[in-house]
Amino acid sequence: MADFIQLLPDHVANQIAAGEVVQRPASVIKELLENSIDAGAGHIQVVIKDAGKTLIQVVDDGKGMSLIDARMSFERHATSKIKSAEDLFSLKTKGFRGEALASIAAIAHVELKTKTEEEEVGTCIKIEGSAISSQEPCVNPKGTSICVKNLFYNIPARRNFLKSDAVESRHIIDEFQRVALAHPHITFSLHHNGSELFQLPDTNYRQRITNIFGGKTNEKLVPVNEDTEIVKISGFVGKPEFAKRSRGEQFFFVNDRFIKSPYLNHAVVAAFEGLLKDKAYPSYFLYLQVDPKSIDINIHPTKTEIKFDDEHSLYAMLRSAIKHSLGQFNVAPVLDFDRDAELDTPYSYKNRNAETPKVEVDRNFNPFQDERNGTNYNPGNSTYKKDTSPSWESLYSGLENETNLNTGLDQVEFESEEVTGNLFGTQEEKPEASTFQLHKKYIVSTLKSGILVIDQSRAHSRILYEELLKNITISAAVSQQLLFPLKLQFSTQEMEMLKELKDSLEQTGFIFSEIEKDTVEISGIPTLIAESEVGMLLEQLFSDFENDVPDNGFSQTDLLAKSMAKSMAVKSGTALNNSEQQHIANRLFACKEPSLTPFNKSIFITLTVDELEKKFT
């Protein structure tokens, strides 16, 4: 019988490994940045073109590599980070598998320039599809520069699975931010298509967070510090009033490595219990230092998931540390009384002695005094006279006899207490209410065949969706000008998203007078929303577009209208008067699709008389 099992060629094995390590251009950025950090770099520069599909270049000033190390770095499972299996439980570096460069070289054109401090000239190696095309000396400063061009050029199927440039660039920014937040002592820069997105100088953790997410982030942060035998917790959490509708600003770092942990995230949310609004997520930037022997990093190809030895203790410590910080900085309510500063002792009285007040007493005063002929008798003071002023009853004497007072009250006309107007204009006769509200959530109306029950929030979202869709595609909406322009601050990633949606938002009624690096000035907003809701609406919009911004014009318009309709719709729990109830009901059945929301959920149900009669059988 013939043998069927055979060893795969190296280039095939590298392409298979690349499927685990390199999923998109952001994966390449992550691996190259981690290599630069492990090399002891103090300055790291990242340059990308076309969201990394055409070019990814990472330049650092680390210790560099010799000629032999440069050749060996592209071999599978070749690494300088570990030498034995025991080293996996005492890792202090980012990479350790030795698959990154080999996987990248298998699916792209790679050019490596590197030089150590001791060597006079550097080494330049060019690789195409795991095969070295050239190797020669070159002039290069100390450090390493890696260019990755034409990613997935030899795997067209993988390249076709990549998203649009906007989506891929957002993934790159995410990875860049994660690495930059974990290492504030390193200077980072990021350039995309010739424009500078980030320039982050060497600083501390708080300033690095502020540099990435905007200047106003500083006032939103509450420091968290706790040092125990199991874990050392440091970092910051956001104040509850600044909680967002997306999970964008949630970062866990364990031993300077970004991780994802739903279990620890639940501990943070539990610490904010009772402080957050519905569907709001707290921001946090938490750095955990633990013994490397107590964690296992090698459980996921991207190394973003970690297994802890004692998760329960870590959960309790993290939750209590955040609760303590929120209470310490008066963010959370505490069982204490407000101190009145007026009761404090003035500083000038600090060294003074207490003085006993002098009290003068009339020793001749007799509370048991006798009244004789309208005067008070006091043996000690015979000149004392009783006050004989008339009592308060005398002020009203004689009023009962005056019956002909000329007050003119018969000429006064009193205002009627009947309310004759409402928000929708006056009506000659108030019609009998044909609808009523149930639990401030449903609008109930009668039909010839039974009862109609409408979900007010879903109905309003359908009405707004069709109106917004019409405004964007057919005619621009009416905009209300603001007396004072509204200034909002967003992160770099959100600003990039806003620039993509700017034209569609202007069709809905927004007027952007100025868009800067991290600040946008709005001078006009749609008539359907209030000024106080603009920030919340845009945050919800960024959350809905977080995964993808469609290139197709109609798909982008449709998703934009859905997101805005969901944010602007009247919420469950809002009391509506009878006119507003009828207005929603009438507008709903004037829609093209009154039975379903933009997200294909039922808006109303009907109960026929026959169905009601069956309930009583």
Range with the lowest mean pLDDT among 10-19, 242-251, 281-290, 477-486?
10-19
Contacts of residue 263, defined as CB under 8 A and 6 or more positions apart, other chains included, come to: 311, 315
Does residue 133 lie in a domain region?
yes
Q: Please state the rounded mean pLDDT for residues 173-182.
A: 92
Is 364 contained in some domain? Answer: no
Whole-angstrom Cα distance, residue 349 to residue 462? 69
Query: At 107, which amino acid appears?
Result: I
Last residue of a domain, which of 294, 328, 362?
Answer: 328
Does residue 225 share a domain with residue 156? Answer: no
Quickly list DSSP for 465-522.
HHHHHHHHHTSPPPEEEEEEEEEEE--HHHHHHHHHHHHHHHHHT-EEEEE-SSEEEE
Report yes or no on 541 lying in a domain. Answer: yes
Give 563's Cβ-side CA count (13 Å radius): 24
pLDDT-wise least confident of 177-191, 237-251, 417-431, 440-454: 417-431
Asked whether the predicted pLDDT for residue 403 surpasses 80, the reply is: no
Statement: residue 55 has pLDDT above 80:
yes
pLDDT score at 426: 46
63-72, 363-372, 495-504, 599-608, range with the lowest pLDDT: 363-372
- Is residue 216 located within the same domain as residue 188? no
Q: How far is it, in rounded angstroms, from Cα 251 to Cα 266?
A: 13
CATH code of the domain covering residue 487: 3.30.1370.100
Q: At what angle do helices 262-271 and 311-328 cross, to 10 degrees?
A: 30
Strands 187-192, 43-49: pairing kind: parallel
Joined tokens for residue 288: 């955990």
Encode pLDDT of 247-257 as tens digits. 778 899 998 88
Residue 287 shares a structural domain with residue 220? yes
Clarify whether residues 21 and 133 are in a common domain: yes
**Amino acid (one-letter) located at 169:** S
Query: Could you give the percent of the chain with pLDDT greater than 70?
Result: 78
Q: How confident is the model at residue 109 (pLDDT cuts 50, 70, 90)?
A: very high
CA angle 47, 53, 54 (to 5 degrees): 65
Check residue 571 and report its DSSP letter: P
- 363 in a structural domain: no
* pLDDT tens digits, one per residue of 67-79: 888 888 888 767 7
CA distance 232 to 252: 13
Side chain identity at 381, as an amino acid letter? N
- Which of 169, 200, 231 is where one domain is finished? 200
Q: What is the pLDDT of residues 89-103, one digit of tens each?
A: 666 676 665 678 888
Name residue 53's amino acid.
K
Is the predicted pLDDT of residue 376 greater than 60, yes or no?
A: no
Claim: this prediction has a pTM higher than 0.75? no
Residue 291 amino acid letter: D
Query: What value, to the nearest 5°, has the Cα angle with vertex 97 and ends 118 and 93?
Result: 60
- How many whole angstroms separate alpha carbon 452 and alpha carbon 18? 58
Per-residue tokens: 265: 């995230």
For tokens 């910051």, name the residue: 236
Q: What is the pLDDT of residue 328?
A: 81
Count of domains forming the chain: 3
Cα–Cα distance, 275 to 323 (Å, whole number): 11
Average pLDDT across the chain, whole number: 80
CATH number of the domain encompassing residue 55: 3.30.565.10
Residues 128 and 211 in one domain: no
pLDDT at 301: 63
Range of the domain at 242: 205-328
Count the Cβ atoms, other than its own, within 10 Å of residue 362. Answer: 8
At residue 397 the predicted structure's pLDDT band, cuts being 50, 70 and 90, is low
Q: Is residue 393 part of a domain?
A: no
CATH of the domain at 260: 3.30.230.10
Specify the pLDDT at position 321: 92
Q: Quick one: 147 and 214 in the same domain?
A: no
Residue pair 86/170 in contact by the 8 Å Cβ criterion? no
In a domain, 160, yes or no: yes
Strands 122-128 and 109-115: antiparallel
Identify whether residues 112 and 150 lie together within a single domain: yes
Q: Which residues pair with 434 in a beta bridge?
A: none
- Residue 424 binned pLDDT confidence (cut-offs 50, 70, 90): very low
Residue tagged 């795969």 (tokens): 8
Residue 223 pLDDT greater than 60, yes or no: yes
Residues 475, 561, single domain; the answer is: yes
User: Domain boundary residue among 136, 167, 200?
Assistant: 200
User: What local confidence, expressed as pLDDT, does residue 430 receive?
Assistant: 46
Question: For 557, phi and psi rounded to 5 degrees?
Answer: -65, -40
More confident residue, 448 or 462: 462
The answer to whether residue 379 is domain-embedded is no
Q: Are residues 289 and 216 in the same domain?
A: yes
SS3 of 57, please?
Answer: strand
In the block, tokens 């026959």 appear at 610
In one-letter notation, the amino acid at residue 366 is: N
**Token pair of 70 as six digits:** 């440069």
Instruction: Show the tokens assigned to 254.
Output: 């364990």
**Mean predicted confidence (pLDDT) in 39-65:** 92
Domain check: are 215 and 293 in the same one?
yes
Kindly list the strands in the beta sheet with 109-115, ordered across the sheet, starting from the edge strand earlier in the chain.
131-138, 122-128, 109-115, 143-149, 55-60, 43-49, 187-192, 195-200
> Does the pLDDT value for residue 471 go beyond 90?
no
Per the domain annotation, does 397 fall within a domain? no
Same domain, 514 and 536: yes
Q: List the structure tokens of 416.
A: 């009627």
Same domain, 121 and 220: no
Pair 355, 366: CB distance under 8 Å: no
The average pLDDT across 431-459 equals 83
Alpha carbon of 11 to those of 28, 105, 156: distances in Å?
Answer: 18, 10, 16
What confidence score (pLDDT) does residue 147 get?
Answer: 94
Does residue 200 or residue 294 have the better pLDDT? 200
HSE-CB of 116 using CA atoms within 13 angstroms: 8
